[in-house]
Amino acid sequence: MRVIHVDNSPERSSVTARTLDAGITAYNAALDTRQEPLDFEVLTFDEYDALRTPINPDPALFFVTVSESELSHKNHDGQVVACRSLETARTIAAQNSKGKVFLIAVAAANELTGIDAVVAGLNGVAGIIDERGLILKEVVESTVHHVPNSRRRKSLMLVGELGSRITAMKEMLSDWEIDADSEPTLDLACWRAAIALAQLKRLEPIITVPQPTSYSSLANALNLNESATAFRLNSNDLRRVLSTLGRRWLGEGHDPPERLNLPRYARRSGFPRHRPVIIGLDHLKTDRQILSAFQNLEIKAVANLAGMNHWLVYLPASMRRQGRLSCR
């Protein structure tokens, strides 16, 4: 089986490539003579894009390094698009039906959130591996045998800390559901506002109004950031949403100026700094699909792989990118 590492570096001498090469060498050394060894090669993003035909029909393992500090950005047309590594991983998954695509999370570049991981699964990725785990033959073996798709569900394999972040997000949503003081009809709006808040450094008050830190004023301030967050809601509903998030994150007796730090609390709660992108969906549908994914996913901690945390996240088959499950 071919193992293809897609990276910015044109050489096999990059730290990530050397680590993966060592893990594959250890895996191959443990095989008996009847088992097929893995054949390792490295392509740059440009080299993969230049391929005239996809690497189908042969089965292959693809490892795509995620090294960008910004996981999404606005293109020249003003559209929010995924960074090159995530877009490449999605393209590879779409072009190679017999292959499996794993993201390599480079801790020095960024910290993927649980939301980022689930979005990767919705975009066709089979798993996400912490870079330091690549050197372990047990991790390489697990990627070889991982089955990402079945009739009933999609399985996302995680090696590292991402599983705990997904678990924390799912537990937070469970707390939201039993919040007796909240309005269930605002659940999606709270989720969308939290995603928007996390993209800002802080909320800048409108100092010309009598109460700049009131929720009404902050709702207007957040709406003024629509060009940065791709989010807007009518002021009355957004006032109620921010009040709900403020009570949940800041507590009942907080000082009103602390509300300016709601973006920091959103990131602390696991919402990503950069807007998540599901290829082919607009922002509203993307937010709804991610929330629905968290409401419907199951996550299971598996026996550790040589000391590395190992998780499987199960999504219903209909939760793939073309899925139609709606959030509650």
Domain boundary (231, 251, 268) is at: 268
Length of the chain: 328
How far is the C-alpha of 257 from the C-alpha of 250, rounded, in Å?
Answer: 11
Domain boundary (225, 252, 268) is at: 268
Q: What ranges make up the beta strands (E) of the chain?
A: 2-7, 39-44, 60-66, 72-74, 80-82, 100-105, 127-130, 153-159, 298-305, 308-316
Q: Is residue 76 part of a domain?
A: yes
Same domain, 313 and 256: no
Q: Is residue 285 part of a domain?
A: no
Exposed, middle or buried, 58 (CB in 10 Å: 0-12/13-18/19+)? exposed
Same domain, 128 and 178: no
Same domain, 24 and 152: yes
Same domain, 81 and 134: yes
Same domain, 142 and 205: no
pLDDT score for 151: 84
Contact 6, 45 (CB under 8 A): yes
Same domain, 39 and 123: yes
- Over residues 232-266, the pLDDT tens digits come to 999 999 999 999 999 999 998 899 999 999 999 99
Same domain, 36 and 180: no
Q: Is residue 274 part of a domain?
A: no
Contact 315, 156 (CB under 8 A): yes
Model pTM score? 0.92
Higher-pLDDT residue of 182 and 257 is 257
Single-letter amino acid code for the residue at 310: H
Same domain, 147 and 39: yes
Same domain, 205 and 159: no
CATH number at residue 115: 3.40.50.2300
Same domain, 109 and 35: yes
Same domain, 98 and 124: yes
Higher-pLDDT residue of 226 and 183 is 226
**What are the structure tokens assigned to 13, written together?**
């001498």
- Over residues 68-87, the pLDDT tens digits come to 989 999 998 889 999 999 99
Range of the domain at 186: 168-268
Confidence category of residue 323, pLDDT binned at 50, 70, 90: very low
Count structural domains, the chain.
2
Confidence category of residue 11, pLDDT binned at 50, 70, 90: low
